[in-house]
Amino acid sequence: MGRINREVIEEVRASANIVDVVGSYVSLRKRGRNYLGLCPFHSEKEPSFTVSNEKQIFHCFGCGASGSVFDFVMRTRNLTFAEAVKELANRFGIPLPQEEETGQSKKIREMAQRLGQINDLAARYFSENLLNRSSGKVARDYLQTRGINEGTIEDFQLGYAPKSWDGLKRFLVKEKVDLRVAVQAGLLVPKSGGDSYDRFRNRLMFPIKDIRGRATGFGGRALDDSMPKYLNSPETLIFHKGRTLYGLATAREACRRNNETLVVEGYFDLLALYNKSIHQVVAPLGTALTLNHVRMLSRLAPQTVLVFDGDQAGMQAALRSLEFFLREKMAVRFLPLPEGMDPDDFINKEGKEPFMKLLSEAKPLMEVFLEQCLSNYDGSVEGRLRVVREVTPMLRLMDSPVAQEGYLRVLDQRLGVSEEVLRAELSLSSTGGPTAVTSQKKKKEAEPPEWEEGTIRILVNYPQWIPTLEEGSVLKSFQGKDWAEVGRLLMKYYQEGGKLDLSGLLMDVQNEQVRNLISSWSLETSPWREEVAHSRLREYIAGIRSSRRRLLDDLKRLKEEIQAAERSRDEKIMAELLAELQAKKAALLAGEVEDEANLSKGEMV
Ligand SMILES: [Zn+2]
């Protein structure tokens, strides 16, 4: 289902009382102002799962799970946000606009259906040609030279498009298909004057199927010198190269059983592995892996192994996808094939056992990336900075400090930049959230984030003081990006409603750790009394202001020290000073950023 507009979401949220919804899954007992039960997300004997009727949120003090009524339904039923909204809308009898405006969306759905049917029909025609017609001999011979067996040919419904301008067209006419739909499906190419001809001629045909096994498009390999060697269906209503993987339907079960999905680059790489009973394989359609592909992979199995060509291009293609895997918190490894070999060559020459051995030795892609960055390191200050700049954005995407630690140690050993400095670089210029708070606590000058955290904590409990954030640009002085973001959201929600809509706010907070902190604070059993809270708030705000002044002073001092280090050519100190300077600059900007999207874009460059 498509986008749901904000008003509908609000209506559903207003109708779906969180105590009722949670109460139908978890037995809840009233305790004080809240409800308490056993957490459905972790196993516990003493109830620590808290639901607030007043704030319309839940929070587990045992495992930290928290959020709005939508989060609860998404997690318990394993649904997407849109599906959770739809589910609750149905349950509480709220009509969704999509269901009322049948006109447009009904037309689209029917069109998609017709395109699917015509593709399935064409797949049958191509397959019949390959298996049972004399014209298909050229394709049968070719498959034989590539060592593809009958079972594989059948499972993938491989086919042959004969050397003819109207073979498929005549078949479709006989089947009483509307040729305009065949043109829309990309099977026929329109000519001027309303006529059309077959797009795929003298090609080995690979039907590309969705996860349910329905053909959405085709890939065709030329069996003569025609260009291009591989021709795909054009993008249609149901066929998008960036959102399709070859082999989804055949791989699905095997991926689940093996807890792992292999990704190869080409049709024949995939068929060669499948031939040897390695079924958990998919391939993108001649494009680089996209974030969408990685999301599809995450639904197949928790781990992915990239089995790309054994050359520099293969490795670069793998590394380009690292960011997407990190973003989706997906484990990904890289299988290095010998130079000049692709998976098809390897498994046919060496056999299955050597392949399985290589597979078991595949290294985490992050490790391969780090080695790649370090291999260009020439020992200079600039080189060291370059490596740090290349690696930190990726490390930042790993949310586990334990996982980061190993890589930080390698950098420490190989570059001579201490883990401390690297950690500061990591936490300061990125989140400024809880990770920054904990890693900074060791240091003396840890106050600013704690003051910011404290301020937010009080405002969550005493929303009437939220306007304080605007006075004398308090918010602009924030140095932690996450706290600044929450501060902006607090102001937005307070201004819109004149009170704090906490479950709405939680839906907008991106960082999960921050979200969990906020919901736990809002449900604290003994928040400070009003007078105490008010005097604390004033202390924190004074602290935030003075720390900004100190930050500005520090920046000035740092610049002078860098100039001095430059004069004395002390490279190690200079690298550390430059890292510190970068971190401070990022802290200075945290509270002033109006547009989050621009900031994250800036970081990626
Ligand atoms: Zn829990």
Three-state SS sequence of 464-493: HHHHHHCHHHCHHHCCCHHHHHHHHHHHHH
Distance, CA of 116 to CA of 109 (rounded, Å):
11
Tell me how far the alpha carbon of residue 517 lies from the centroid of ligand 1, in angstroms.
Answer: 14
The residue with greater pLDDT, 499 or 232, is 232
Ligand 1 centre distance from Cα of residue 37 (Å): 10
The rounded Å distance from CA 47 to ligand 1 centre is: 9
Instruction: Provide the residues around ligand 1 (an ion) whose CB is within 5 A.
Output: 39, 41-42, 60, 62-63
Yes or no: say if 560 and 496 are a contact pair by the CB < 8 Å rule: no
Predicted pLDDT at 98: 56
> Ligand 1 centre and the CA of 512: distance in Å?
15
Stretch 305-311: mean pLDDT = 92
Question: What percent of the chain lies above the pLDDT cut of 90?
Answer: 39
| Amino acid at the residue 416 | G
Q: How far is the CA of 12 from the centre of ligand 1 (A)?
A: 25
SS3 letters across 309-353: CCCHHHHHHHHHCHHHHHHCCCEEEECCCCCCCCHHHHHHHHCHH
pLDDT band for position 597 (cuts 50, 70, 90): very low
| Cα(109) to centroid(ligand 1), Å | 40
> Is residue 545 over pLDDT 50?
yes
Ligand 1 center–CA 433 separation, angstroms = 22
Task: Compute and round to an integer the Cα radius of gyration of the chain.
Answer: 29
Return the pLDDT at 439.
Answer: 35
Q: How far is the CA of 563 from the centre of ligand 1 (A)?
A: 53
Whose tokens are 């500005």? That residue is 552
pLDDT for res 1? 46
Write out pLDDT tens, residues 37-88: 999 988 888 899 999 988 899 999 888 889 999 999 998 888 888 889 988 9
Give the distance (Å) from ligand 1 centre to CA of residue 328.
22
> If you measure from the C-alpha of residue 43 to the centroid of ligand 1, how many angstroms do you get, rounded to a whole number?
7
- In the block, tokens 């068929």 appear at 271
For ligand 1, the distance from its centroid to the CA atom of residue 364, given in whole angstroms, is 31
161 phi and psi angles, rounded to 5 deg = -100, 115
Span 385-397, average pLDDT: 86
Q: How far apart are the CA of 64 and the centre of ligand 1, in A?
A: 6
Quote the ligand 1 centre to 65 CA distance (angstroms). 6
Among 89-98, 163-172, 370-379, the range scoring the smallest mean pLDDT is 89-98
| CB-CB contact of 261 with 279 (8 Å) | no
pLDDT for 243 beyond 60: yes
Distance CA 294, CA 328 (A): 7
pTM of the model: 0.59
Q: Per-residue pLDDT for 100 more than 70? A: no
State mean pLDDT over 285-290. 88
**Confidence at 142, pLDDT banded by 50, 70, 90:** very high
Residue 24 — pLDDT band, cuts 50, 70, 90?
Answer: confident
Instruction: Calculate how far, in angstroms, residue 51's C-alpha sits from the geometric centre of ligand 1.
Output: 12
**Residue 46 Cα to ligand 1 middle (Å):** 11
Domains of the chain and CATH, by start = 6-99 (3.90.580.10), 104-239 (3.90.980.10), 245-368 (3.40.1360.10), 447-604 (1.10.860)
Q: How far is the CA of 22 from the centre of ligand 1 (A)?
A: 13
**Please, which residues have CB within 8 angstroms of residue 31's CB and are 6 or more apart in sequence?**
none
Output the CA–CA distances (angstroms, integers) from residue 264 to 309, 329, 335, in the order listed. Answer: 8, 21, 10
- pLDDT-derived band of residue 368, with 50, 70 and 90 as boundaries? very high
- Whole-number pLDDT of residue 441: 33
Distance 414 CA to ligand 1 centre (A): 41
Ligand 1 mean position to 584 CA, how many Å? 37
In eight-state DSSP terms, residue 5 is: -
What sections of 351-446 are H helices per DSSP? 352-360, 365-375, 381-397, 401-415, 419-428, 434-441
CA of 134 from ligand 1 middle (Å) equals 65
pLDDT of residue 557: 87
Nearest to residue 429, comparing CAs of 383, 380, 482?
482
Ligand 1 centroid to Cα of residue 525, in Å, is 18
The answer on pLDDT for 308 being more than 80 is yes
